[in-house]
Amino acid sequence: MAAPWSTDHLRLHQQLSREPQLLPAGAPLLLAVSGGQDSMAMTALLLDLQRLHHWSLQLWHGDHRWRPESSQQAQELAQWAQGQGLPLQIDSWAEPLPTEAAARQWRYSCLETRAQACGASHVVTAHTADDRSETLLLQLARGSHRRGLASLQALRPLAPGIALVRPLLGFSRADTSRICQQLALPIWLDPSNQDLRFSRNRIRAEVLPVLEALHPGASRRIAAMAERLAQEQRASDELADLALQALINSEAGADAATGARLQRRALLALQPANRGLLLVRWLALQGVGPLAAQQLEKLLQQLEPQRGPGRLVLGGPGPGQELHWDRHNIWLAPPAASPTVSLDLQSP
């Protein structure tokens, strides 16, 4: 029997044909599937498009063990996947923590490990335009740098040789709900998505409805703004990478993408806005996440010439890194036993 075909299939097929770098033809894909409507719609669309793009598909499900019924739902999802001829790997969180940040870190760590084990070059998640709107509002409230406002992008590195792809950013939750109904897909609801202790849920339940009431279509426009910011960020990154080459200490024998040392005096000779732009880009190339505007300001203050040499722990999930500087260079290193200053990059 021929695979189903709809305007949604055509829409995604055309997008992936225009942007082949997202999910290259023949690539081994690892799909993150929660069992909710977004991930089920994504899985069904990609399965139906497989005959045109020739991917190999594997599924991954993370059981957070936040709910008594989560293990049963994971097994039901496994049975559905088996019926579709899709291999599914399930990871269960041994010591679950009830925070969004911890859950996100655990999921991406598992996805990276599973992708390496199964040889997947692309990890695929089902984030939608609504997720993008929520992320922009959260980052805006946290005082994020512009890079943080554009952080939910369609393609980014997850690990060496592994890309993280979000092909549904042009779709809304209303779209994925319709797709699930049209394709008669099962959905496993997660009550934690209604838990207002989680900041994203409060944005979804309490903030966006008010904005939609005031300005209908607000969520769609916010998501479009996030895409414009992402495009501008990519263009800015191209110019920043060229400028960084002039700031790299050539005696260190490294370039901007491989643990380079920045010339401190040359950086501080630039206008303050350019200092921040290049420092944020350089940190991103070293694997350091987005800084809030206030955090970046504190960091630049620490680097002022009159302060002399120093070091600063860049806090956040995981072991973190430590920024060092002397009178000539700035570089990153594993954290020492007794840091002089600590800068938390996860909260303003």
Residue 237 inside a domain? The answer is no
Tell me whether residue 86 is exposed, middle or buried, using C-beta atoms within 10 angstroms of its C-beta: 0 to 12, 13 to 18, 19 or more. Answer: middle
Q: Are residues 109 and 30 in the same domain?
A: yes
Residue 249 inside a domain? The answer is no
Q: Are residues 219 and 275 in the same domain?
A: no
Q: Are residues 265 and 122 in the same domain?
A: no
From the CB of residue 277, how many other CB atoms can be counted at a distance below 10 Å?
21
Q: Are residues 317 and 210 in the same domain?
A: no
Residue 192 inside a domain? The answer is yes
- State which of 225, 240, 266 marks the end of a domain: 225
The whole-angstrom separation of Cα 2 and Cα 315 is 52
Residue 232 inside a domain? The answer is no
What are the residues whose beta carbons fall under 8 Å from the beta carbon of 196, sequence distance 6 or more? 202, 205, 206
Residue 331 inside a domain? The answer is yes
pTM for the structure as a whole? 0.77
Residue 235 inside a domain? The answer is no
Q: Are residues 216 and 259 in the same domain?
A: no
Backbone phi and psi for residue 312, each to the nearest 5 degrees, phi listed first:
-150, 125
Q: Are residues 183 and 136 in the same domain?
A: yes
- State which of 206, 225, 244 marks the end of a domain: 225
Q: Are residues 172 and 314 in the same domain?
A: no
What are the residues whose beta carbons fall under 8 Å from the beta carbon of 66, sequence distance 6 or more? 96, 98, 192
Q: Are residues 209 and 265 in the same domain?
A: no
What are the residues whose beta carbons fall under 8 Å from the beta carbon of 219, sequence distance 6 or more? 129, 130, 133, 172, 208, 211, 212
Quote the domain boundaries for residue 104.
7-225
Q: Are residues 118 and 189 in the same domain?
A: yes
In CATH, what number is assigned to the domain containing residue 302?
A: 3.30.465
Q: Are residues 216 and 260 in the same domain?
A: no
Q: Are residues 285 and 148 in the same domain?
A: no
In CATH, what number is assigned to the domain containing residue 83?
A: 3.40.50.620
Distance from CA of residue 208 to its chain's centroid?
21
Distance from CA of residue 67 to its chain's centroid?
25
Residue 287 inside a domain? The answer is yes
* The pairing of beta strand 329-333 with beta strand 342-344: unpaired
- State which of 225, 245, 263 marks the end of a domain: 225
Tens-of-pLDDT digits for all 348 residues of the chain? Answer: 667 899 999 999 999 999 999 999 999 999 999 999 999 999 999 999 999 999 999 999 999 988 888 999 999 999 999 999 999 999 999 888 888 889 999 999 999 999 999 999 999 999 999 999 999 999 999 887 777 788 789 999 999 899 999 999 999 999 999 999 999 999 998 888 888 888 999 999 999 999 999 999 999 999 999 999 999 988 988 999 999 999 987 664 444 434 578 999 999 999 988 999 899 889 888 878 777 778 888 889 989 988 889 888 876 444 467 889 999 999 988 776 544 454 544 433
Residue 246 inside a domain? The answer is no
Tally of structural domains, the chain: 2
The neighbouring-strand residues paired with 146 are none
Q: Are residues 321 and 216 in the same domain?
A: no
